[in-house]
Structure 1
């Protein structure tokens, strides 16, 4: 088994095939040797500002080459990364920076910390030769607002090394082109871009997701792997059928979706379109306490499942900590194969809730008799209305199937009679008759799950990574009452 640092691995790939494409964005391509030299120069520039092994680098850049150049330059110095959205509101950004206390902030102005603005220029006089070897411990952290809205940082426990003889992970194929439509600060797109580059792949980045452009790039660059969130899948599927089928997608080995619940009807359409062997899904947590994986053929046999565990054990427990029967919904607890508490470290929050070493992030779900996991929803998002438990994801799935609905968010609002009433925020493509919508939902949901109130909007209900922030949406509406 050969283990190399990130820096040595990238240098070896550049020496082996210097002129192969490494990175493409908006028609511009960097070869392996160009990427290697640029990241070496950038690393020296960052070092001159004060970044060193063990330091923290906040990366707040939009999607583009500079983002990944900063990532690999930081790792070559042995620094730890903290990718964040370049669009963070000032209050949230300041809260994260105060927790992180970074050696350098790249992409934002800061009065308290060393910073590089997005259009910074690296001095050409700096050497582009390989740097002294260094290993990041850990490689990165992720940020989360959590259920309270207070920021926290989730640091991984992995190191900046790669087993060059082993598999890349995440079903990545070495040296095969990968398209990244999602924001790189998010865990899924970051992981696919990072791991793919470490194994010689050509990574094509989109500065922002566009449905038709995604298909055009797949055809142009003969893409092998495409990670998507369900929102992206929905927008691609809603393209005119002739337009959608105009592009050659025969190079695609795997479309893999993640990050949010995918409605069964949408998943079925993609499987019928591409074939079950080309549509995969994974479920996991930012804390990496466990992951599940399922391919399209398995999904057809276990409709609605997110798969079986691949690096952990799973139990479904009731509120008293007892295992629930097969098929019954409870709280999902995971135990990673490496042991409890071994995959993450929090800053700004207490560790996850545990029962005898088994950990949970609060998701609700069930297991079938074959060990396949089904996600119900977040425990904190569950609505108790008139004594009945209602999972927003199920209602949203029914709403999103409507041809005039782009996306929806379902929340519980205080109600004197029911405790909470089901309220739907609907991002519509065109005006929708509420009575007709209720009748349409009546064919898909039992009566008590149909929203009592509707709110039609034209602004996005999901953020740029396709996630719903239900607690924020709920609080905004309660505050406005």
Structure 2
């Protein structure tokens, strides 16, 4: 049985700081001790190697729980804490999770669930752990069919992602990675994995606060930070002093940055690395360095070593330079498939190549330009919203005959969802909003409901969303 990554790191760097949160500090040895205690308390609850779900926030205890489950060698199902009870239940059933560990604030009901406070009171049992398990984590991502799919992430995936990132941005043993992105997202989870692989510290924030992070960057409390566009904009809004020389890398994901933002970062010497990635690639897959940012405006860079990328046309053939097509990726950080979903796996993966569903092109130097993050995908504040999922819930309302959802540009969030509805009976927008809030996460709720006589469809009866987008473009809301 191989040691867990944290256990190995504690052997190598026992007295090195591995975690900062608020005013508290833990060395890797102290983190390992915390994880061991939790693992021995979790162990009696387990029956097999089926996944254990975590419903957590950005707390030190969450970090220790993640590492505890790695010690036991069971996959961890990271539940998005912004989802509804109904959405959680779908993921728990689909993944066949054997246990849910949750923070008391969520109070989830499940066949087998234990709160963190209850867990702390449990008896410890000597840990023997299961046989080697290559699946490290599972994260659900919504699909174009509306049903979430569990992305399988192996230890190899996470290690390859960490290695590729280090080759790209470099590695300093004194680095401190600021983490204000959610741990249940691949962006936050991957930071924890990189911390123990690299032997560097994480400064964990319970939630993003631009004033707090800005002060930390000014005062030399972080060298690397991961942000989405809305976070970067909020940092720029409060920034007055120059960032400390210790700060060297800002990884930007969650959609392309507007030109004016890139230009301001360049003028203020903020080292922004624009990136492209997804849950299926275990975080960033391509990165654009600051050195290329000014001459490659709008690009997401090149694949991290040793990843490969190509652009394919509708027939699967290779696109020419600057020709738009579907983005396909391949490499050791790419998922091997979707949990308990062979058809989705076979549809997405061919000979190791993953169809991302995103469209874009490569220029003559091989730099990626993402034309559209999946043709219908809405990215709001770094969160992915799939129209089909929202439409499916809307259509379940007895007064709704048909529903179409598209994104509308928004200065604060990048995009927000707008719903076009054909009604069977008259219902107020407030009633529809309440109906959705009981079934979907808040960020998925349309910010505007448009009542129409019919929705545009093609000859096959398929909804033509681009025509709905034109309606938004022609109107001022």
TM-score normalised to structure 1 length: 0.73
Answer yes or no: is the 8 Å Cα contact 2:252–2:273 preserved in 1: yes
Secondary structure of 2:207's aligned partner: coil
Name the SS for the 1:451 alignment partner. Answer: helix
Distance 1:177 1:5 in 2: 27
- Gaps spanning 5+ residues in structure 2: where? 379-405, 421-451, 458-463
Q: Tell me the equivalent position of 2:276.
A: 283
Q: 1:360: how far off? A: 1.1
Match of 1:147 in 2: 144
For the residues of structure 2 that align with 1:55 and 1:355, how far apart are their CA atoms?
27
Determine helix, strand or coil for the equivalent of 1:374.
Answer: strand
- Cα distance in 2 for partners of 1:322, 1:109 equals 50
Deviation per CA, 1:272-313: give whole Å up to 9, x if none.
2225xx221221232229922210112222211111223333
- 1:77 & 1:417 partners in 2: Cα distance? 52
d(CA) in 2 for partners of 1:246, 1:337: 41
Whether the 8 Å CA contact 2:16–2:28 is kept in 1: the answer is: yes
**Does structure 1 residue 329 correspond to structure 2 residue 324?**
yes
Change in Cα spacing, 1:113 to 1:417, as seen in structure 2 (3 Å) is closer
1:96 aligned partner: 91
The equivalent residue for 2:416 is 409
Taking the TM superposition and a 5 Å limit, the aligned residue runs for 1:352-367 are: 352-353=347-348, 358-367=353-362
Relative to structure 1, the CA distance from residue 36 to residue 100 in structure 2 (aligned partners, 3 Å threshold; closer, same or farther) is same
CA contact (8 A) 2:55 2:79 kept: yes
Report what 1:78 is aligned to: 73
Note the 1:154-193 alignment, pairs <5 A: 154-159=151-156, 169=166, 171=169, 172-193=171-192
Q: Would you say the 8 A contact 2:41–2:122 is kept in 1?
A: no
Deviation at 1:83, TM superposition (A): 1.0
In the alignment, the residues of structure 2 paired with residue 238 and residue 342 of structure 1 have an alpha-carbon distance, to the nearest angstrom, of 37
Aligned residue in 1 for 2:299:
305
- Relative distance call for 1:207 and 1:134 in structure 2 (3 A) is farther
- Give yes or no for contact 2:100–2:110 (8 Å, CA) kept in 1: no
What's the CA shift for 1:252? 0.8
Equivalent position of 1:452 in the other structure: 474
Q: 1:49 to 1:353 in 2, by over 3 A?
A: closer
2:34 pairs with 38, 53, 56, which one?
38
SS in 2 for 1:366: strand
Is the 2:272–2:290 Cα contact (8 Å) retained in structure 1?
yes
Partner of 2:52: 57
Deviations 1:417-451 (A, max 9, x none): 89667778xxxxxxxxxxxxxxxxxxxxxxx7981
1:374 aligns with 2:396: no
Give the deviation of 1:40 after TM superposition.
Answer: 0.4
- Structure 1: 5+ residue runs without aligned partners? 384-391, 425-447, 456-481
CA distance in 1 between counterparts of 2:121 and 2:314 reads 59
1:136 to 2:158 alignment: no
Q: Give the CA deviation at 1:271.
A: 2.4
1:117 aligns with 2:76: no
Could you tell me how far apart the structure 2 residues matched to 1:160 and 1:324 are? 27
Show the counterpart of 2:10. Answer: 14
In the other structure, the counterpart of 1:258 is 253
1:205 counterpart = 2:204: yes
Helix, strand or coil at the partner of 2:90: helix
**Alpha-carbon separation, structure 2, partners of 1:288 and 1:145:** 15
Q: Distance in 2 between matches of 1:297 and 1:177?
A: 22
Per-residue Cα deviation, 1:93-152 (whole angstroms, up to 9, x for no partner): 00000011212211155554322224345249748x997696432111111121222122
Is the contact made by 1:155 and 1:344 (CA closer than 8 Å) also made in structure 2? Answer: yes
Secondary structure of the 1:140 match is strand
Following the alignment from structure 1 to structure 2, what is the Cα–Cα distance between the partners of residues 78 and 382?
A: 34
Offset of residue 345 of structure 1: 3.6
How many Å separate the matches in 1 of 2:332 and 2:280?
13
Distance 2:10 2:335 in 1: 34
Q: Distance in 1 between matches of 2:207 and 2:85?
A: 22
Q: How many residues align?
A: 402
Contact 2:177 2:201 in 1 (8 A): yes
